[in-house]
Amino acid sequence: MPWLDSPAHERWLEQEGDRLLAFGRASRHPNGFSWLDDDGAPDLERPLALWVTCRMTHVYALGHLMGRPDNGVLADHGVEALRGRFHDEVHGGWFSEIGPEGPTVTAKTAYEHAFVVLAGASATAAGRTGGRVLLDEALAVVLEHFWDDELGMVVEQWDQDWSTLDGYRGANANMHMVEALLAAADVLEDPSLREKALRILTRVVHELAAGNQWRIPEHFDSTWTPIPDYHHDEPAHPFRPYGATIGHGMEWTRLALHLRAGLGDAAPGWLLDDARSLFDTSLREGWAVDGTDGFVYTVDWEGRPVVRERMHWVAAEAVAAAAALHAATGEAVYDDLYATWWEHIDARFIDHRRGSWRHELSPANQPSHVTWRGKPDIYHAFQATLIPRLPLAPTLAVALARGLLG
């Protein structure tokens, strides 16, 4: 029986999801959620990161919608932190990092604000106190400060009082903004947010990736001119690496299919074709290209591996993309790849002794820390256990709220 049609596999996904939720509970901190180390202990020497607190709030809102005891309390804790210590009460928006004495980074970034929207959307769908207030404010900030309606994209970074806009533009923030806008569109029943997501995806996928042999340009100047050599001297950067990022090809694949399903009959025909092309390129240039199983992190503009470390989030997005393409097409090849990659994840990434997933492996599939240390959050891994069991639309929290979990 195909894995994606197997009740036994669905039970295994549920068990793995519950294991991840249990691991993440230790990250609760009085002011949000902490970065966890390899053993699942909070790394209290690190400032609290906004993206970690947002992702954990989102995940525990999903867990609550699945009927997991205490997950609603954890989601409430995250909402309270986002409306409290992380929030800039003077200028609005959210600080990227906070320490015991207050913010340690004061810049306001689109990447993190996208996750505030996602956390607010999931908390709202879960009926958690303060979720709707958080969502409404986060959307207002995004649309006022980050959304560029002329270009149909989001800008990257402002200073604390929104007076100076940085010249860098990035695809990564736009990718997560698509995810956030789709979630908010479903929660609020606001199709205008879905249309904004389509504008971003048209620009990045249908224009930029299609014109670049399906390798997504990641870094741009203020005129949205690509900077192909950006971070050539720091290729393993965790958020802005040099070259094309294999995992983002998989993630954009999945988002294109979620958007296609959400738009229904109004969806442009190219969404499925482009999703296939992105997936095929990421598979061809990313999977086992150096003779060892696993996805390389990045490739250059000729498709040659640059950073060969294997990241857990890339594998998670690969299984999610394969599941999404199988849902959209019914083609067996995607189920075959899905099964292969879960076998790889179980053998290499899942830490059966200490919990959660190893976040990074070497090219020889041994634990590595070139880019990541510890196990910061469970967002990518948990979603990989959930996406195969839900329809492509609506998005995760609303699908759970409507009782659509298979």
263: left (phi over 0), alpha (psi -120 to 50) or beta: alpha
Residues with Cβ < 8 Å from 151, sequence gap 6 or more?
203, 224
Catalytic-role residue among 9, 219, 344, 380: 380
Could you confirm whether 380 is annotated as catalytic? yes
Q: Is the pLDDT of residue 406 over 90?
A: no
What 3-state class would DSSP assign to 35?
A: coil
Q: Is the pLDDT of residue 346 over 80?
A: yes
d(CA 100, CA 88): 15
pLDDT tens, residue by residue, 191-236: 999 999 999 999 999 999 999 999 999 999 999 999 999 999 999 8
**Cβ pair 156, 169 in contact under 8 A:** yes
pLDDT tens, residue by residue, 293-324: 999 999 999 999 999 999 999 999 999 999 99
Strands 157-158 and 108-109 turn out to be antiparallel
> To which residue do tokens 């290729």 refer?
235
d(CA 152, CA 330): 32
pLDDT given at position 233:
93
d(CA 174, CA 353): 36
Q: What integer is the mean pLDDT of 354-380?
A: 96
Q: Phi and psi dihedrals of 169, rounded to 5?
A: -130, 145
pLDDT tens, residue by residue, 2-16: 999 999 999 999 999
Catalytic-role residue among 77, 248, 326, 359: 248
Q: What angle do CA 368, 373, 376 make, to 5 degrees?
A: 125
d(CA 43, CA 38): 10
More confident residue, 372 or 403: 403
Q: What integer is the mean pLDDT of 110-127?
A: 98
pLDDT given at position 118:
99
d(CA 335, CA 53): 33
pLDDT given at position 268:
98
Q: Which two tokens stand for residue 351?
A: 């830490």
| Residue 260 binned pLDDT confidence (cut-offs 50, 70, 90) | very high
Q: Is the pLDDT of residue 372 over 90?
A: no
Q: Phi and psi dihedrals of 385, rounded to 5?
A: -85, -15
